[in-house]
Structure 1
Amino acid sequence: MAWSTRQIAELAGTTVNTVRHYHETGLLDEPERRSNGYKEYGVPHLLRLLQIRRLRDLSVPLARIELMGRADEDPVEAFRALDAELASSIERLERARAELALVLRHSAPLDLPPGFSAGARTLSERDRSMIMIYSQIYDESALSDLRQILEETPRTDSDKEFDDLPPDADRATRLRLAQYFAPIIKELQAGYPWLTDPESRSSKSAATLETTMVASLRQLYNPAQRDVMYLADLIVRGKTDERLDGNDEGTEP
């Protein structure tokens, strides 16, 4: 009994294009041709197609199926390696599903790293942007602390005022906000000492951390907001300059 390409594809539960692809990749030997030029497939071709289908159902990549046909490839070891890969994929998918469940539960935006969805609705777009950047420059222990800080630090009207602060906000407003945030920052630094030494929790080099933070602050915050942060830092450190003493000019840190 011999079959045409279409017939053997139907018999094996696949398509003509797939059979041709297996020929091109070397997974399936080319059959002999009849005198009229048509391919003539036999039982060995059918069995090979069924074997390939079985391996594909087990998620074996085509490249590995080709290796399994070689004499130096141990199929048992290959399956063990595949099992480990599948276990890793399942774990990754389970984490993704758990995170997606949080996103759905809290109607959270997707522009946040894993674990930050619970408090996402209270965050401004700027906050979310900074968290995404933090996820690339800080290690997991730092991110865990940041998640805890967000969960334990409720947003206030002053946070909203800071978010909406215009670039030309007057000195009194900037100073008032700095005085409001300074004790909060000081308390956070006492609870999380690494906040005063961010390099100790960075996943990147000191130079990368600094350039990333400087660029992020300059592009995400306007001059008045940066001035508030600068003034608050001066207050926390017990320092002073003319702006704390009454000068009306702001300076970008």
Structure 2
Amino acid sequence: MTWSTSELADLAGTTVNAIRHYHSLGLLEAPERKYNGYKQYRVHHLVRLIQVRRIAELGVPLSHVRADKDGVVVLGGLQQLDQCVQEEIERLHRARSDMAAILRDHAPAHTPRGFEALASRLSEADQALIHIFARLSAGESMSGLRQMVLSEPDAVRLEFDGLPSNADEATRERVAHRIVTLRGTWRSPDRPWSAQPGRWWSERDARRTISEALLELYNSAQQDVLSRARQFASEQKISLSA
């Protein structure tokens, strides 16, 4: 018994285009043709097609599959693929957990991981800075940062967020003193840093990156207030990041 291309596709649960693609990759040998030019696929074609389909269902890239008269071979074996699949499963679990937190707290999709419940307290600049913190610092330090953000007094946060770039001298001085008095800011390159193992940057690189981010993310008055707060804290030997 023989089958046409469309009949073979139906039997194997695939498409005519897929069969043509397998032919082009050398995974399925060309069949004989009838006198009228129509292809005649036989049982061994069906078996080979089902084998290739089975391997494809496992997620093996077809570029890693070879076929000859002895059968179908996966180059490099399945161990490496299994590791990749496991890593993808873990990534999807993390993604689903993150999405659940975002939906639960009605947070923007780009909210930094772990800060979903605090999203309403964070300006766009604050969220951007936290994203950079997360990339540069070791994972365990992020729990400390979350606590610092959570404990920042609302009065300090709202006044700092609403500070216009043309704020007068008295306002800048007052806000800076309030930050020091209430230890109300985590926006500082002087917080304790711990570079992630295996990364190319040093503690110095991390501090410089945060300093550049502060210059770009916050307006001139906010930058001035943060600078004054660090100066006041230094004079009084107070840590703003403790």
Larger helix proportion of the pair = 1
Q: CA deviation at 1:154?
A: 4.4
CA RMSD of aligned residues (A): 3.0
* Equivalent residue, structure 2, for 1:38: 38
Aligned-residue sequence identity (percent) comes to 40
Q: CA deviation at 1:222?
A: 1.0
* Equivalent residue, structure 2, for 1:158: 156
Q: C-alpha deviations, 1:195-217, integer Å up to 9, x for none?
A: 5453x446523564244223311
Q: Give unmatched runs, 5+ long, in structure 2.
A: 237-242
Structure 2 distance, partners of 1:235, 1:68, is 76
* Equivalent residue, structure 1, for 2:240: none
Structure 1 distance, partners of 2:46, 2:175, is 76
Aligned pairs for 1:53-132 within 5 A: 53-66=53-66, 78-132=77-131
* Equivalent residue, structure 2, for 1:244: none
Structure 2 distance, partners of 1:48, 1:86, is 25
Q: C-alpha deviations, 1:61-111, integer Å up to 9, x for none?
A: 323333899889689x83343333322222221111111110100011122
Q: Give unmatched runs, 5+ long, in structure 1.
A: 189-193, 240-253
Mapped contact 2:176–2:228 kept (Cα < 8 A): yes
Q: C-alpha deviations, 1:128-153, integer Å up to 9, x for none?
A: 111112122222122232123223x1
Q: CA deviation at 1:234?
A: 0.7
* Equivalent residue, structure 2, for 1:242: none
Q: Which of residues 215, 221, 224 in structure 2 aligns to 1:224?
A: 221
SS in 2 for 1:2: coil
Q: CA deviation at 1:51?
A: 1.4
* Equivalent residue, structure 2, for 1:238: 235
Structure 1 distance, partners of 2:7, 2:18, is 13
If the length of structure 2 is used for normalisation, what is the TM-score? 0.82
If the length of structure 1 is used for normalisation, what is the TM-score? 0.79
* Equivalent residue, structure 2, for 1:176: 174
One-letter amino acid of the counterpart of residue 97, structure 2: A
**CA distance 1:109–1:187, shift in 2 (3 Å):** closer
Structure 2 distance, partners of 1:196, 1:24, is 59
